[in-house]
Structure formats: structure tokens, C-alpha cells
Chains A and B, each alone.
Chain A
Amino acid sequence: MHKINQLFQKDLKVINMGLESFYKDLKEQDVAVIHMNWRPRAGGNPKMIDLLNRLKSNK
């Protein structure tokens, strides 16, 4: 069975990354959801992100 069709048969369990209002709306509907305290990697500094990516690919 297609994986999307497997999703259709399960209860929705959501990770919310970004706007908190989407999390609150789901919570209000009793949907299993967690909200991430997401923030840009390396403080959003493009140079640092590039360095981290290089470290990752050198692993």
C-alpha cells in the first residue's frame, strides 16, 4: 500500500515547526501535536551554516 494511503488510515500526529497559531488550532481540536522551539541554525548566519554543512559532509 502506498505510504500516503497508510497515513489516511492513521490518526494524524503532527510536529509543528514555525507559526504557533497552527499548533494552537490543532491542540484545540484535540489533535496530537507538538510545537518546536525552532530557530535558524547558527543564528541564521550564512557563513556559519556553510561551515557546518562542510563539517557534516566531511564526517
Chain B
Amino acid sequence: MIQYEIRKNAYYDSVTLMLISKEIKNIEGVGDAIVGMGTDLNKELTVNIGLKHTLLDAISPNDFYIAAEVDSDESMKEVIESVERLLTAKKTAAGSDYRPATLNSAVEHFKEANLVIVSIAGQYAEEEVLNALDHDLNVMLFSDNVSIEAELRMKQKAVSKELLMMGPDCGTAIINGIPLAFANVVKKGPIGVVGASGTGTQEVTALIDQLGSGCSQVIGTGGRDLKSEIGGLMMLQSIDALIEDPETKVIVLISKPPAPEVAEKILQKVKLTSKPVVVDFIGGNQETIKNAGAYACLTLEDTARKAVALANGMEPVDFIGFTEDESVIDELVQKSLEGIKPTQTNLRALYTGGTLADEAMKLLGNTFGGIYSNIPLSPEYELQNLNNLKGHVCLDLGEDQFTVGRPHPMIDPSTRTDRFKTDIDETVAVVLMDVVIGYGSHENPALEAAQSVNALRASYDEKFVVVASITGTEGDPQILSVSKATLEQEGILVLPSNAQAVRFVHKLLTALGGMKHA
């Protein structure tokens, strides 16, 4: 039977509720269940998972509700009690500080505030952000589902007020050494970064830290900043700030290939500074970057290495290999393929970071006859059916089709745990994955990944090779070396960067005989 519990005017944030939804589904006697605010999206999801009820229409976005398929009234009682317990636990953990309901009262109470992080539902974001900018507050806008017109209005206001408006959909920033949202604990240092890609920025800054250098500031712009409609407003404004910043000796720019006229504007500005500028327009035109006197990059790791070389007063060189001696790598390739059957030829790359998935496909290129994906490099490799995989596959599990009603897989790795069960079959020889640690991420993503691999090995006769890289630092709460040991204990091969993990996979696939799945 389907039962509902509705609380009028009770507000909880979406990630908290999605995590609680997941926990109550584990209660005995409970089928599908949803715990959420009465937004249109949640109501639609409720119908889609078969929990439709006449009560649903009366629920407003300001109401909190539980809908569950239960086998008895007792089970529902247990659901309600569990939700109460979980909500109380989360509240207690957060302390009992004063919590203003409006931005105006927050500013009144906390006059020294200089930055607002906004992660409310996208449709309410513009009003709050414009108000924050009116209060001379810098903004990090994490929310997505914000229109490009609203983005332009917010950014124009921020530019006119000389403030930061990072976002929308900005997941990563490190301001004055403080990681915000999804970011790593990176040492303070001479490299200033402006990134239009969250996980791309995390990979570069984490590697800068691992290479012994550090970051002055890491500014996010949101993924659409370098599109024609926005014209790079926030990247241009951020470059100005880094040029003026005495702590910044080297500037790094990271973005997917910008609109050509925006790239030109950015590179014009780059020409004006005497500070060295390292540019990774992931897969974009290298010549235009070099012509502007900047350093063009091949991978995210190459970007970090070039920036660190310049910060150390050295001439940067292209990095296209491995940290380890290549003969050691080749030996490892041969050894790991022992026991793989001739019928096992396919790759499954299961990524939580979109830019890392994109980089993997670009580095593997067309050598192996194309890679199917939900974010393919060319349309003919678009996966039509996510539940029927064939050939080589690379998935970005952070995309919308995987995150309806559940948190991003960096917060809740169960999306990938589930895909492990469905996506690895007897044709698979190699599994590739990222493990992103740091603030914002799950408390132990390496353990979750290791457990997935362990469960798979127990239920599956074929041997397969699992290759991973970790985006993170020793300073992160999950600790890079501890995460690495966790993966290695499960026989997972951990390479020092995404680029090296992909190159290793390239060698594995080549050794397996250059498959043709086109």
C-alpha cells in the first residue's frame, strides 16, 4: 500500500532529504520511497516511481512529505520514526547557531560577511544573488537550472560592482586558502587558477599540491561563462584580479573549448600581462593560445606540471608519459592482463567527474573505434539505451539522467555502485574510474569503490583489470595516501593522475589487440 506523511511548512535541503530517502528504502517492509519537499520535480518523481496518490496534488513546495510503498501501517510508522531520527541527528550535528531566514537579516546579523554560497533551487537563485550583490557580497552560485539570461544579468551586475559571481553550477573554488563546496585542501602558493570546469579545476589544483607547489586563489566561473551569450565576463574579471594580486605569480585558465570570439577576448587580455599564463582549453586550438604568448596544455596534469615549472622558474615541457619508468609500466600492463580471456575486449569507464570523463575519451581518441557515452565526442556514439551497453563505454555519472532524485555521485557513490552491478559483463576486460576526494565529496569514496569491485569479483567468474586515479591531496579529510591504500588493497591499479590512468588503459587495450567496435 502507498502511504503519505505530510508536514506543512517544514523546510529541509534537498541533499539531506535524498540521503534520507536512500536510508529508509533499506527498512524491511518498505518498497520504493521518497522523502522530499513538494517541488514539481519531486512530485513528478513520486509519480514516476509509482507512488501517485490523490494527496500529492495538495502538497506545496513549502511542504515536506514522505511517500512510501509499505506492507503495513507498522512499516510506515517505522519509516516516519526513522526519518525523524535522521533529521534530528543531522540537526544536532549542525549545532544550534542563529539561522536567519532572509539574506537581509543574515547581513544585519553578520555585517562582516564578504561571500555568500548559494545552493538553493535554481528558480529562486537570481533574486537572492542580485540582492547579495546589492549588499556588496561576492557570490558562489552552486545551483544549476538557472537560465543563461539570468546568468548574464547577475554577471553584468557583479562586473559593474567589481565582485565575484562564480557560477551558476559552480562546484569548485578556493578563496584565501579555503576550499568552498567541492574542493581540495591545497597548499597556499604562487599559482592563481580560473576554472570553468569543476572537476577539471580540482584535478589541476590537487596535482599542483602533489607536485609541491600551491595556489593563491582558485576562482570558478560556471561552465557557460565562455559561451557567446556570457562572453567570458567572469573569467575576464577574475584574470584582472589575479594580474593585480601580488601573491599570484602564474595564472592558469581551464575551460572546455570557448566560443571563438570569447577565446580571442580572453587571449587579448592574456597578452597584456607579464605574468606567465597557462591555458587548458580542453581539446581546443593550441596555436591561438601559443600566439597569445601563453602556454598551451595537453591534459589537466600537463596544465598542473607546466604551472608548477613556471612557478619554480623553469621552462615548461610537454608531459605525455608516466611518472614511473615506462618499462615498469609495460611490465605492469603484461602482468595485469594475465588470465584475461580473448573474448574480453571492452572498456567500461565509470566517472563521477564530467571533465575527467571527457578527458579520458579525448585521450583514448579513435584508436579503438570510438567510445560510447552519455557525453560522446561525436553524436554517433551517443548511448541510446543506458541499460544496454556494447563496445567501449565511458559514462559521466554526474549527468542529469543518473541524478534524478539522488545526489551527485561524488556525494553519494551508490549510483556508481549500482552501475558496477549492471554495466560489467563477460565482454569487459578493463574498468576505469575516478575517485574524487576533498570537501563536498563523500566521506570515503575510495572505500565505496573498493567495495563495489570486491562485490563484483565475488559474483563474477572472469578476471578483469581495474584502473583508477584519485583527485585529491594529503590535506583532504579523506587523505590521498589512505584512499590510495584502500583501493590498492582491493587490487585496483592507482595511477598518479587521470591522464596517466587513461594512458595506462590505452596500453592495456592496445595489448588486448586493438579492438574494432565502430
Contacts and interface: CB of A to CB of B under 8 A. Distances in A.
Interface residues on A, range: 35 or more
Interface in B217-238: 217, 237-238
A56 B244 CA distance: 40
Interface string B109-120: 110111111111
A5 B62 contact: no
Interface in A25-54: 25-29, 31-32, 34-41, 43-45
A20 B136 CA distance: 23
Interface residues on B, range: 35 or more
A28 B439 CA distance: 10
Contacts of A22: 117, 119, 142, 180-181, 440
Given A37-B100, A39-B11, A12 B115 contact: yes
A14 B116 contact: yes
B138 A4 contact: yes
A13 B113 contact: yes
Given A15-B115, A21-B15, A37 B62 contact: no
A38 to B, nearest CB: 6
Contacts of B124: 40-41, 44
B116 A15 contact: yes
Nearest to B60: A43
Contact of A34 (B99, B114, B245): B99
B508 to A, nearest CB: 37
Contacts of B62: 39-40, 43-45
In terms of DSSP, what is the predominant structure of the interface of chain A?
mixed
B349 to A, nearest CB: 28
Interface in B167-193: 175-176, 178-181
A10 B120 contact: no
Nearest to B98: A34
Given A4-B138, A5-B244, A34-B106, A18 B94 contact: no
Contact of B113 (A15, A28, A41): A15
B162 A18 contact: no
Contact of A19 (B11, B119, B137): B119
Contacts of A38: 11, 101-102, 120, 128
Contacts of B180: 14, 22, 26
A17 B117 contact: yes
B241 A4 contact: yes
A31 B119 CA distance: 18
B13 interface: yes
B176 A40 contact: no
Nearest to B111: A13
A41 B97 CA distance: 22
Given A15-B107, A17-B118, A22-B180, A2 B244 contact: yes
Contacts of B178: 12, 26, 29, 31
A34 B114 CA distance: 12
B9 interface: yes
A22 B143 CA distance: 13
A39 B103 CA distance: 11
B107 A8 contact: no
A33 B416 CA distance: 33
A10 B114 contact: yes
A50 to B, nearest CB: 12
Contact of A3 (B94, B161, B247): B161
Nearest to A18: B119
A13 B106 CA distance: 12
B164 interface: yes
A44 B124 CA distance: 9
B138 A23 contact: no
For the complex of A and B, 3 pairs with smallest distance between CB atoms: A44-B61, A18-B119, A43-B62
Interface of A: 1-5, 7-8, 10-29, 31-32, 34-41, 43-45
Interface of B: 9, 11, 13-16, 39, 60-62, 90, 93-95, 97-103, 106-107, 109-110, 112-121, 124, 127-128, 132, 136-138, 142-143, 161-164, 175-176, 178-181, 216-217, 237-238, 240-241, 244-245, 247, 411, 439-440, 477
5 contacts: A14-B116, A15-B106, A15-B117, A22-B440, A25-B440
Given A3-B161, A19-B15, A45-B60, 12 more contacts: A3-B163, A5-B245, A10-B114, A12-B175, A13-B114, A15-B117, A15-B132, A25-B439, A29-B439, A34-B100, A34-B113, A41-B124
